[in-house]
């Protein structure tokens, strides 16, 4: 069965964009061309992109802009995010950023400030942070964890063999990040995500599942990779839905607490559902 595009409701996007644009903010929803954008906006969920819109790494699958001189952090951004969450009435918010290897703490203190401001103005809103690897710096991870997000995510994105498409990243460093989070605060929900269809085998995906269980990361999201343009790494395979369901059942049988698996699943998809679970 051919891969079908998901229906995008432009009116939902425009309505939501007009509101958050008042706060001079960006969403990864739009910058990464997420296929669920109108669905999440309609359900009062969004993923804000802090620390600018350009990345210091050269991943071949990501649409986020890449240059060597990104802008300095905006000290007023944390409060703008907080006000936007309140004004939009968000029930669940994801805060993420490009990788900022140019900053002394890789952006960790800016994440912490944004979490604290958002919590201050929106005590009932659940907060997830999707962080870069911070070069596996434990002090940087502690800054974010001490701000007390409800969920902390760091995406592996793919299997070890294919990490060539993640320039500047390292599979085992990312595993270390997830492991350190669990050590610092074992009660905190940790989560990761994989894009499938990049050329991985089933055995390699299951091997990643085993690696995650060893470090007590028991939440995983699986989705189909969609190339943002012809300049990006090409899709190697469109997986049938039954394969996504198979991966879900395998992961649950192995001991994962929560698995979201499907062609349109992305790392921030239906985050509120995860938290309720």
| 120 C-beta neighbours (distance < 10 Å), count | 11
pLDDT-derived band at 238, boundaries 50, 70, 90: very high
Going by CATH, does the domain composed of 10-276 fall within 3.40.50.150?
Answer: no
pTM of the model: 0.86
Confidence of residue 277 (pLDDT cuts 50, 70, 90): low
Three-state secondary-structure class, residue 214: helix
Give the pLDDT confidence of 80-115 residue by residue, as tens digits.
999 999 988 888 899 999 989 999 999 999 999 999
CB within 8 A of 76, min separation 6: which ones? Answer: none
What are the boundaries of each domain within the chain? 10-276
Burial track 154-174 (b if 16+ CB lie within 10 A, e otherwise): bbbbbbbebbebbeebebeeb
Residue 74 CB-density burial (10 A; 0-12 exposed, 13-18 middle, 19+ buried): middle
């Amino acid at each position: 069965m051919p891969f079908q595009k998901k229906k995008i409701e432009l009116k939902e996007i425009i309505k939501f964009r007009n509101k958050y644009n008042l706060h001079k903010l960006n969403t990864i929803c739009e910058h990464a061309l997420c296929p669920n954008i109108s669905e999440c906006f309609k359900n009062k969920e969004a993923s804000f992109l802090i620390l600018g819109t350009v990345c210091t790494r050269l991943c071949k699958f990501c649409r986020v802009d890449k240059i060597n001189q990104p802008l300095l952090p905006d000290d007023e951004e944390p409060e703008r995010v907080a006000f936007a969450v309140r004004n939009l009435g968000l029930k669940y918010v994801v805060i993420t950023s490009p990788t900022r290897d140019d900053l002394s703490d890789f952006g960790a203190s800016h994440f912490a400030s944004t979490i604290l401001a958002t919590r201050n103005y929106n005590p009932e809103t659940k907060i997830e942070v999707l962080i870069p690897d911070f070069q596996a710096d434990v002090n940087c991870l502690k800054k974010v964890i001490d701000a007390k997000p409800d969920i902390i995510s760091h995406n592996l994105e793919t299997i070890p063999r294919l990490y060539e498409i993640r320039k500047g990243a390292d599979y085992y460093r990312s595993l270390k990040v997830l492991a350190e989070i669990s050590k610092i605060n074992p009660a905190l929900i940790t989560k990761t995500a994989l894009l499938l269809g990049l050329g991985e085998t089933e055995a390699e995906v299951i091997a990643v599942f085993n690696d995650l269980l060893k470090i007590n990361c028991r939440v995983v999201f699986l989705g189909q990779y969609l190339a943002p343009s012809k300049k990006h790494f090409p899709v190697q395979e469109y997986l049938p839905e039954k394969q996504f369901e198979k991966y879900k059942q395998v992961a649950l049988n192995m001991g994962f607490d929560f698995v979201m698996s499907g062609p349109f699943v992305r790392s921030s998809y239906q985050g509120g559902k995860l938290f309720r679970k």
